[in-house]
Amino acid sequence: AMTTTEKKSKFLVVGGGIAGVTCAEQLASQFPSERILLLTAAHLIKAVTNFKQVSKTLEDFDVEEQSSSVLEEKYPNIKVIQSAVKELKAHQHRVLTEDAREFQYEKLCICAGGRPKLIAHDNPYVLGIRDTDSAREFQKRLSQARRITVVGNGGIALELVYEIEGCEVIWAIKDQAIGNTFFDAGAAQFLIPTLDVEKPEKRAPCKRAKYTTEDHEQQERCSASAGELGSALGPDWHEGMKLHGAQEVSHKVHVEYQCEIQKIYTQEEFMKSQQIPLLFPDHSSNKGKSPTDKEAWPVYVQLTNGKCYGCDFIVSATGVIPNTEPFTKGNSIEVADDCGIKVDDHMRTSVPDVYAAGDVCTASWEPSALWQQMRLWTQARQMGWYAARCMGADALGEPLELDFCFELFSHITRFFSYKVVLLGKYNAQGLGSEHELLLRCTKGQEYVKAVMRNSRMVGAVLIGETDLEETFENLILNQMDLSAYGEDLLNPNIDIEDYFD
């Protein structure tokens, strides 16, 4: 088929996730008379709603899936085109799509996100969860499952093991503690009891995730061909989905620490392998070694710690790989060690007029001492917004400072129904032994950790309703010498806010 070249546009954005949509919205409001093109492979886009600026750097928002017409109504100068990118011809300033269309741009922003790192490809018993289509597939399979294995220790794995009911969960993590991307072992110990107690009755329905199913037929058609092109899940993706297995048990999670999956066997291969499968460990009656499992399971996992379990299927929740493929081949776009597209402090790639933002990119400027990149919602939104500002400034030949949001890492999320705030080097990232921790913990209520270096606060983890985020943010940003307070810094009877007004 002959390719048709569409009208040339000043700004072209690729990707309908948070970074791409935020970038397009920002460009549209900055340049009301320009047509902004947004190319997206999925038929729904992700929008930020209920945005709240909690403090100087902390922001809280919901993520909603919407049809692209909602975006076009809000910004008449945005045109959304549902089409996957096949090739970027950067030197010609052209993008070719799978359906043989061609778009010319003056400035392009790549916000193509990432796809799940799967522990095994093309294995029908391994499911990667990243977007709503895969979440729905997971829900369907879980309803028949009696035991599953979850691999991974990031946000999605944490949410998953907490939300699943009526199914045994073997949780394999390569670290010494759960959720190590977000917490240290202390915070993990604070949260672990929550895995064993009856969960509180569901909170009032959550306003965040509106996963529409009414146009399911159309979705089935789209997702069949799209494969892994959906955009990432919102922080409350499991709300309103009944994650319930086939058993009567309410909550059974067994964590296998410091191990990975060494081998996956089908039932047939397993019978030949002479391995000995273990029963699900019974935590109530510590009878020593688990007896062997006589049941036949569809799939078996052998862990690197020598243990072996049968299960119904395996969930791979081990992070993402940036979707760089169609953009890097044939172009001299530099890629970082983590496979992301390198961007400078103006979100520019190594190729003229091509920018990138969100999970697809890797920040390759010299970062502030208290900031680090993590592939999270908050950063996708910040990067998308800032990339649009940069594209605009560069187009107009105006200077632009690196945005303040890159001064201090900050993130708000919820785990196990607790509010969690992370600030700065909250896990003492890169500090070696040059730091000390101050802790305060009230079982079942709150966990407060301050990371100190040379009597200055450089990071914090706040779990529960602590109301300390603004104070701590100020202490970190001001780099004030706190040696006068010593251990009293976290003394609940001393209101530190009074000191630092």
Q: Which amino acid is at 293?
A: D
User: Residue 348's pLDDT is what?
Assistant: 98
Stretch 252-262: mean pLDDT: 90
Stretch 174-190: mean pLDDT: 75
Q: How does pLDDT run across 141-151, given as a tens digit for each residue?
A: 888 899 999 99
User: Residue 238's pLDDT is what?
Assistant: 59
Best CA proximity match to 38, nearest among 105, 86, 127: 105
Q: Can you spell out the DSSP letters for 256-272?
A: E-S--EEEEEEHHHHHH
Give dist(CA 455, CA 444) in Å, integer. Answer: 29
Q: Is the per-residue pLDDT at 379 higher than 60?
A: yes
Which range among 65-79, 239-253, 346-360 shows the weakest confidence by mean pLDDT?
Answer: 239-253
pLDDT band for position 2 (cuts 50, 70, 90): low
Q: Is the per-residue pLDDT at 427 higher than 70?
A: yes
Q: Is the per-residue pLDDT at 183 higher than 80?
A: no
pLDDT band for position 46 (cuts 50, 70, 90): very high
Q: How does pLDDT run across 441-464, given as a tens digit for each residue?
A: 888 899 999 999 999 999 999 999
Q: Is the per-residue pLDDT at 361 higher than 80?
A: yes
Q: How does pLDDT run across 213-225, given as a tens digit for each residue?
A: 333 333 333 333 3
User: Residue 498's pLDDT is what?
Assistant: 65
Q: How does pLDDT run across 221-240, given as a tens digit for each residue?
A: 333 333 445 666 655 555 55
Best CA proximity match to 357, nearest among 77, 8, 72, 17: 17
Query: Can you list the domains of the chain with their CATH numbers?
Result: 4-113+323-406 (3.50.50.60), 116-199+229-319 (3.50.50.60), 417-499 (3.30.390.30)
Q: Can you spell out the DSSP letters for 4-31?
A: EEPPPEEEEEE--SHHHHHHHHHHHHH-
Higher pLDDT, 322 or 228: 322
Stretch 269-298: mean pLDDT: 80
User: Residue 266's pLDDT is what?
Assistant: 93
Q: Is the per-residue pLDDT at 342 higher than 80?
A: yes
Higher pLDDT, 123 or 204: 123
pLDDT band for position 319 (cuts 50, 70, 90): confident
Q: Which residues contact 422 (CB under 8 A, 6 or more apart)?
A: 182, 409, 410, 411, 412, 413, 460, 461, 462
User: Residue 261's pLDDT is what?
Assistant: 92
User: Residue 166's pLDDT is what?
Assistant: 84
pLDDT band for position 283 (cuts 50, 70, 90): low
Indicate the average pLDDT of the chain.
85
| Helix, coil or strand: residue 320 | strand
pLDDT over 90, % of the chain: 56
User: Residue 207's pLDDT is what?
Assistant: 35
User: Residue 364's pLDDT is what?
Assistant: 97
